[in-house]
Every structure is written in C-alpha cells, then in structure tokens.
Amino acid sequence: MTQRVLTGITTTGTPHLGNYVGAIRPAIAASRRPDTESFFFLADYHALIKCDDPARVERSRMALAATWLAAGLDPERVVFYRQSDIVEIPELTWLLTCVTAKGLMNRAHAYKAATDQNQAAGEDPDFGVSMGLYSYPILMAADILMFNATQVPVGRDQVQHIEMARDIAQRFNHLFGAGKELFVHPEAVVDSKLELLPGLDGRKMSKSYDNVIPLFEGGSRGLKDAIARIVTDSRLPGEPKDPESTALSTLFDAFADADEARDFRDELRGGLGWGDAKQRLFERIEAEIGPMRAHYDELMAQPERIEEIMQQGAARARAIAAPFLARLREAVGLRPFHLQRDAEKAPKQTKQALPQFKQYREADGRFYFKLSTQDGRVLLQSRGFEEGREAGQWIGRLKREGKTALAEAPVEAGEGVSAEEIGAALASLAEAS
Ligand code: TRP
C-alpha cells in the first residue's frame, strides 16, 4: 500500500549536522522508495510561535529550503512547500480548534514545560505563554491531517503531538464524518538510532546545548574548525584510545559504511592521534557534504530560483488541500447556499430510509421485537421472550453481526420478504452504526 510520509522542520535556525543525519537525509532516502509519497515542508508558521525576529525567520526559511534541495530532494518527486503558502492550513486549524478539548492542550509538553518553569520562578503559570504556543499542537495536527499523512517521521519530543493529531482526527470524524473517515490516523515514526548524533560536547547535538556543527554555513573551513573543537581526552598520539569515550567515532559512523567505521575504531585503539582522527572525520564528512555545499551556495545566490520551486510546490500541495478543505467545510455546515437549497429539496436518502428495530410487549405479557422498513413493512418478527433483556440482546446481535446472527435468532421473515432483503437491511444498519 502506498504510504504518505509527511514531515516539517521549524524555520528558526540554521541547519546543522544533526538535522541532516537525523531528519533530512533519511527523509530524502525514503522519498526515493516507489511505494511512498512524500510531503516535506518548511514549518514557518510554527517559527512565529518561538521567534519574533523577522530577519531570523527569513534567513532560516531560505537556508532550509536550499538545504533540502542541495541535499538531494527532488521537487518533482516530493511535494515540497512552505506551510505559510498553504492558506488552507490555517483554515483547517480553526475547524480543528473548534473540536479540540482545552484539556487536551493543557497536557501538551511544550505548554506544561512553560507553566512549570513559571511556577518554579514564582510567576503566574501562564506568564509569557502565547495562544500560539498553547494551541501549537492543533496547527501541527492541521499540517498532518490536511494531507492525510499516514506516517510522520519526527523526533521523540514530537510523538505526543502526533497522538494529539490522532485524537483530534478521531473526534472530527466522529462528529462530522457521517460514518465515513474524513481523516486517516497518522502514525509517528521515530528512529532513535539517528536521533543520537552527538554534538561537540558529546551530548545530543542541539541548538539549545550550543554544541552544533553547522551543515553548510561557514564553508569547509567552518566544518573543520567545529570538528577541531570536539571534546576528547588528553591521550597522546601512539597511546591506545577508547573509541567510545568521544563523539568522534559516533559522528564517523554516521557518514561511513560498516567496514570504514570498524577500521576507524580499530585505529583509535591502535593509537591514532586525536588530531589525525579529526582530520579523517573531517575528510569523511566533507566527501559527502562538500558537493552539496557547492549546490547550496549556488541556490542561495539565486533566491528567485528557490522561490519558483517553492511556488510550484505550493501549487501542487494546494491542488490537494483545496478540494479536501471544501469537503470538510461542507461536513461542518459551511456549504454554498445554492447547494444547500438543492440538498433540502432532494428526498432524504440517509437516516430516514433505514429500517428500524422496535421492541414491545404484548397482552400475553411476553416481550417481542420486529424489524420494519420506514413505511411500516415488517421484515422480521421475533417470537415472545420472558425477559425484555433477552429481546434486547438479540437486537444487539442482529445489528452487530447481521446475517451471522440471523441463522440462530428466533425470528421469522415477514410476509413475502426475501432473505436478500433482510440481509441488505441488516447490512445497512451495521454500516450506519
Ligand atoms: N513541531 C515540529 C518540530 O518542532 C515541526 C513540525 C511542524 C512538524 N509541523 C509538523 C513535524 C508536522 C511533523 C509534522 O520538530
């Protein structure tokens, strides 16, 4: 079955090696698989939640766009767009906001972390908390549900948001789906192996730890300088080193095949100096990203070229989003008036047409039930039961199991009613429930 993979990166920073190894590279590799449709986007509305520096948002979204493209994203294969170009997304956000329980948002990690911090500092719990931060998971749900993504690759900290998107989808389907699934249920995909890329100090590479190695920014010189700052112990060249005691080997693994990785570790144990090891790591990474950097620099020098690609991506995304949103608007009661009038004139096809079970008590004191059509024709007639409960249980089974229960149920067909008609009536009830 075709999978629809969707992921976004918030445009607040410059991409680093951790973003590349943990998100961008695997996403691009997955997008080349034949059974996969990929939707990758720049989460620039999300950037506004955390950042009120327009220059930074601007720089970051262009750098990220160029990074994805330079890293090999094929805009013909992948639907690649800026979130803020898809006007349907904020509109869907509102439809979802109206069915999202406030209590669900109270439990979101990002919001709770903010209130906990405020409380610890003796502040009002909501100090500095914007409505953007508070309802951020709904915007993210709209990103995902707009395109009915089945799989969402994210970091571990985002899993809760995917679960919330599922909850919200379920609630919307239940309220407005009329028995159909408007939204599919997305699943988070977390690759913990890729998440653990260490930074300069050995902790997870992250902007918040200030330990990142920039991907393209700063050129090959910048890469080399950053690698030179990776923390090692004070063992001298010739002394055996523990490959597990430094970020060097894990970083090397991320860019090498299994044989190369094993050789590197063996050489460290055999006394390879830290300086030489760093040079080897630099060369290995540069071999992969050097050519991409050249492409990146080229793109960054041609903003109109990137803009054109983003516009094309937006057009493809909106070709899917716009008709789907029209369906959703209709489902909640926001149809054009003339269509509304036409529907009111048309005979009601839905609920009214369904046959109905009725339970009743006869003069003999026993309990009965029958299944009749809307115009009163009896399809099924039960025998009498001592207990009303018994009749109720048979009705329940017939509704749930349809024909299977029919074989055992103490019922008779109504006059001139065929088995097919009864089967169809039960099936329509099961479908509507
Ligand atoms: N919130 C995500 C992050 O900070 C980015 C994001 C926004 C996203 N919308 C999304 C990721 C939809 C996956 C799907 O990492």
What does the pLDDT average to over 314-327? 98
Q: How far apart are CA 258 and CA 261, in angstroms?
A: 5
* Cα dist from 163 to 39, 81, 158, whole Å: 19, 24, 9
What is the average pLDDT value for the chain, to the nearest integer?
93
The topology (CATH level 3) of 3-195+302-332 is Rossmann fold (3.40.50)
What does the pLDDT average to over 99-121? 95
pLDDT interval class at 353 (50, 70, 90) = confident
What does the pLDDT average to over 2-18? 93
Q: Look-up: residue for tokens 């013909």? A: 76
If residue 79 lies in a helix (H) or strand (E), which one and from where to where?
strand 78-82
Q: What are the residues facing 188 on neighbouring strands?
A: 152
Nearest atom within ligand 1 for CA of residue 6: 14
Nearest atom within ligand 1 for CA of residue 83: 9
Domain range annotation of the chain = 3-195+302-332, 216-300, 356-432
Cβ atoms of residues 44 and 59 within 8 Å = no
Q: Specify the pLDDT at position 350.
A: 52
Which of 5, 6, 9, when mutated, tests ligand 1's pocket best, judged by the most ligand atoms within 8 Å of its CB? Answer: 9
Which of 140, 145, 146, 150, when mutated, tests ligand 1's pocket best, judged by the most ligand atoms within 8 Å of its CB? Answer: 140
What does the pLDDT average to over 142-170? 96
Say how many Å lie between the CA of residue 298 and the centre of ligand 1: 27
Say how many Å lie between the CA of residue 61 and the centre of ligand 1: 14
Q: Which two tokens stand for residue 348?
A: 């009601």
Cβ atoms of residues 369 and 360 within 8 Å = yes
Burial class (CB within 10 angstroms; exposed 0-12, middle 13-18, buried 19+) of 38: buried
Rg (CA), the chain: 30
Q: Specify the pLDDT at position 432.
A: 73
Say how many Å lie between the CA of residue 427 and the centre of ligand 1: 41
Cβ atoms of residues 63 and 217 within 8 Å = yes
Judged against a pLDDT cut of 70, whether residue 433 lies above it is answered with no
Which of 6, 7, 41, when mutated, tests ligand 1's pocket best, judged by the most ligand atoms within 8 Å of its CB? Answer: 7
Say how many Å lie between the CA of residue 159 and the centre of ligand 1: 10
Q: What are the residues facing 42 on neighbouring strands?
A: 9, 82
Cβ atoms of residues 317 and 75 within 8 Å = no
Q: How far apart are the first and last CA of the chain?
A: 27
Q: Specify the pLDDT at position 306.
A: 98
Ligand 1 proximal residues by C-beta, below 6 Å: 6-8, 10, 43, 46, 140, 143-144, 152, 154-155, 158
Give nearest CA residue, ligand 1 atom 8.
8
Give nearest CA residue, ligand 1 atom 15.
9
Looking at the domain that runs over 216-300, which CATH code has it been given?
1.10.240.10
Q: What is the dihedral angle through the alpha carbons of 50, 54, 60, 61, rounded to the nearest 10 degrees?
A: 100
Give nearest CA residue, ligand 1 atom 6.
8
- Amino acid (one-letter) located at 288: E
Q: Specify the pLDDT at position 271.
A: 95
DSSP string, 173-226: HHHHSTTS-SS---EEE--HHHHT-B-TTSSBP-GGGT---BSSTTHHHHHHHH
What is the architecture of the domain spanning 356-432? 2-Layer Sandwich (3.30)
Q: Specify the pLDDT at position 347.
A: 65
Q: Specify the pLDDT at position 351.
A: 52
- Which among 124, 106, 186, 185 is positioned nearest to 151, based on CA atoms? 186
pLDDT tens digit string along 272-320? Answer: 999 999 999 999 999 999 999 999 999 999 999 999 999 999 999 999 9
Judged against a pLDDT cut of 70, whether residue 345 lies above it is answered with yes
Say how many Å lie between the CA of residue 9 and the centre of ligand 1: 6
Which of 5, 19, 41, 46, when mutated, tests ligand 1's pocket best, judged by the most ligand atoms within 8 Å of its CB? Answer: 46
Give percent of the chain with pLDDT exceeding 90. Answer: 80
Q: How far apart are CA 84 and CA 149, in angstroms?
A: 18
Q: What is the dihedral angle through the alpha carbons of 258, 259, 260, 266, rounded to the nearest 10 degrees?
A: 110
* Cα dist from 231 to 200, 226, 273, whole Å: 6, 11, 14
pLDDT tens digit string along 211-266? Answer: 999 999 999 999 999 999 999 999 999 999 999 888 999 999 999 999 999 999 99
Judged against a pLDDT cut of 90, whether residue 323 lies above it is answered with yes
Q: Specify the pLDDT at position 2.
A: 85
Q: Which two tokens stand for residue 183?
A: 């939204």
